[in-house]
Chains A and B, each alone.
Chain A
Amino acid sequence: MSHMLSMTDVTVCYDNVEAVRNVSLSVDEGQIVTVIGPNGAGKTTLLMAAIGLLASRGSMVFRGSDIRKMSVEDRVERRLCLVPEKRELFSDMSVADNLLLGSYSLRDRSGVQKTLDEVYDRFPRLKERQRQAAGTLSGGERQMLALGRALMAKPALLMLDEPSLGLAPLIVREIFRTIASLRDLGVSILLVEQNARAALETADYGYVLETGEIVQSGPAKDLIHDPRLITAYLGGH
Chain B
Amino acid sequence: MTSDIAAILAIDGIATGAVYALVAIGTVLIFTVTRVIFIPFGDIAAFTALTLAALDAKRFPGTGALVVALACLATLIEVISLIRNGEVRLLPRALLFYLAIPLAVVGIAWLAMRMDPPLAVRLVLALMLITPIAPLLDRIVFRPIADGTVLLLLTVSVALHFALVGLGLLFFGPEGVRTEPLTSFSTEFAGVLVSGQTMLIVLAALVFSGLLYLFFDFTLIGKSLRATAVNRTGSRLMGIRPERAGTIAYLLGSLMAGVSGILIAPVNTVFYDSGFLIGLKAFVGAIVGGMTSYPGAAIGAVGVGILESFASFQSSALKDVIVFSLLIPILIWRSLATLHSEEEIEE
* Chain A residues near B (Cβ < 8 Å): 51, 53, 69, 71-73, 76-77, 81-82, 84, 88-93, 97, 100-102, 104-105, 149, 153
The secondary structure that dominates the B interface is: helix
Chain B residues with CB under 8 Å of chain A are 85-86, 220, 223-224, 226-227, 230-231, 233-241
CB <8 Å contact, B239 and A104: yes
In the assembled complex, the CB of A119 is this many whole angstroms from the nearest CB of chain B, namely 14
Known contacts A69-B85, A93-B223; A104/B230 CB under 8 A: no
Asked if A51 contacts B237 (CB within 8 A), the reply is yes
A82→B241 CA distance, assembly (Å): 16
Report yes or no: B85 in contact with A104, Cβ–Cβ below 8 A: no
> Which residue of B227, B231, B236, B239 is within 8 Å of A153 (Cβ)?
B239
Contact yes or no, B237 A101, CB < 8 A: no
Q: Is the CB of A105 within 8 A of B223?
A: no
Known A-B contacts A69-B86, A91-B231; the reply to A81 vs B220 at CB < 8 A is no
Contact, CB under 8 Å: A76 / B238: yes
Least distance between B40 CB and chain A CB atoms (Å): 28
Chain B neighbourhood of A153, CB < 8 A: 238-239
> Does B241 lie within 8 Å of A90, measured CB to CB?
no
Q: Is there contact, CB below 8 Å, between B237 and A76?
A: yes
| Of B223, B234, B235, B240, the contact of A97 (CB 8 Å cutoff) | B223
Task: Please report the C-alpha to C-alpha distance between residue A53 and residue B235 in the assembled complex, in whole angstroms.
Answer: 12
The CB with the most chain B CB atoms within 10 A, among A69, A88, A91, A100, is that of: A88
Question: Are A101 and B227 neighbours in the complex by a CB distance under 8 Å?
Answer: yes
Residues of A within 8 A of B233 (CB): 53, 84, 88
Contacts A100-B220, A104-B220 known; A73 to B227 CB distance under 8 Å?
no
The answer to whether A105 and B239 have CB atoms under 8 Å apart is yes
Residue in A closest to B221 when the chains form the complex, CB atoms: A104
B234 contact set on A, CB distance < 8 A: 88-90
Pairwise interchain contact B230-A92, C-beta atoms closer than 8 A: yes
3 tightest CB-CB pairs across the interface, nearest first? A105-B239, A88-B234, A76-B239
Q: Determine if B223 and A101 form an interchain contact, defined as CB atoms under 8 angstroms apart.
A: yes
The listed residue (A72, A82, A104) touching B224 by CB distance below 8 A is A104
Whether A89 contacts B238 by the Cβ 8 Å rule is no
Q: Report chain A residues within 8 Å CB of B236.
A: 53, 72-73, 76
Verify B86–A101 contact, CB threshold 8 A.
no
Contact partners of A72 in chain B: CB under 8 A = 236-237
